[in-house]
Amino acid sequence: MPTLETGLFWPTQDSEPGDRKRQAPEWVAYSFASREAGSRRVLDCACGAGYGSWLLSRGGARSVVGVDLEPDSIAWAKDHFAGPEVQFRVGDATSLPLSSGDVDLAVSLETLEHLRDAPAFVEELHRVLAPGGLLVLSTPLGRGDQRLHPRDPRHVRELDPEELTALLSPRFDIEQRLGMWTAPELGEPRLRLRPGGLEGILRTGAQRVLPDVVRKVGRTLLDANKGPLAWIGADQWTTAPVQLVVARRK
């Protein structure tokens, strides 16, 4: 058993679907990515405790490999979410423990902003993806000086949309751009999903601005009493605290 960090929530299969409300942003983002997982070999980069990797497998992935830098997270993931089609490995995002062309879909949620060598990370994603493979990536939408001096001290750099395009465009063609919002009344999540988690989302000034109609490309998690807890949509995506792209490997 890993040495668990106290005060944080560690998910299990048995705690689903109640986890959806406690992990609303994570569930919405992985649910969105799962739409592309069907029959594909999938990488979950910075998988943390493995909850998202498991969700991707339930979305019909042929196989899922979750990679995370922290051994305790991987130990928990192996104990609670591993299976015939889901495996977990300790590894660095800039030196992934996969062979070239091993996966058809790479999922990277709230990872880029933690890395000091973002170009190396993009090169690794390109390397492990098969030609024509897809990338689903989210990262805080940086604005003004906050890009260089993020509120979250764990973030090295937050990119604006133009900077993210410039980073990805040598290796990927961006096919969709969306935004992700979180209901501010959720407060600060205390989840052990991966290093840095999704705590930074709520520090970026999430707005209660749910479009009248969330486009079909989006995803929403609703609470019967409180309304939307987290949602992804294309309308007004530049006003979102988190940007999400779907891109194809060149």
* pLDDT mean over 62-87: 96
The per-residue pLDDT for range 57-73, each reduced to its tens digit, is 999 999 999 999 999 99
Report yes or no: 10 and 49 within 8 Å, Cβ to Cβ: yes
Predicted TM-score (pTM) of this structure: 0.81
Task: Work out the pLDDT band at 45, boundaries 50, 70, 90.
Answer: very high
Task: Work out the pLDDT band at 151, boundaries 50, 70, 90.
Answer: confident
CA dihedral 111, 119, 104, 193 (to 10 degrees): -10
In a domain, 8, yes or no: no
The per-residue pLDDT for range 178-187, each reduced to its tens digit, is 998 887 644 4
- Only one residue has tokens 């133009």, namely 162
**What is d(CA 133, CA 108) in angstroms, rounded to the nearest whole number?**
14
pLDDT of res. 23:
63
pLDDT higher than threshold 90 for residue 211: no
Number of domains in the chain: 1
In a domain, 98, yes or no: yes
The per-residue pLDDT for range 192-201, each reduced to its tens digit, is 333 333 333 2
What CATH number did the domain enclosing 108 receive?
3.40.50.150
Domain span at residue 26 reads 16-249
Comparing C-alpha atoms, which of 49, 46, 44, 45 is closest to residue 4?
49
Please tell me the total number of residues recorded for the chain in this structure: 250
The DSSP-derived string for 8-67 is SB---GGGTTTHHHHTHHHHHHHHHHHTT-TT-EEEEET-TTSHHHHHHHHTT-SEEEEE
CA dihedral sign, ordered 215, 221, 225, 227: negative
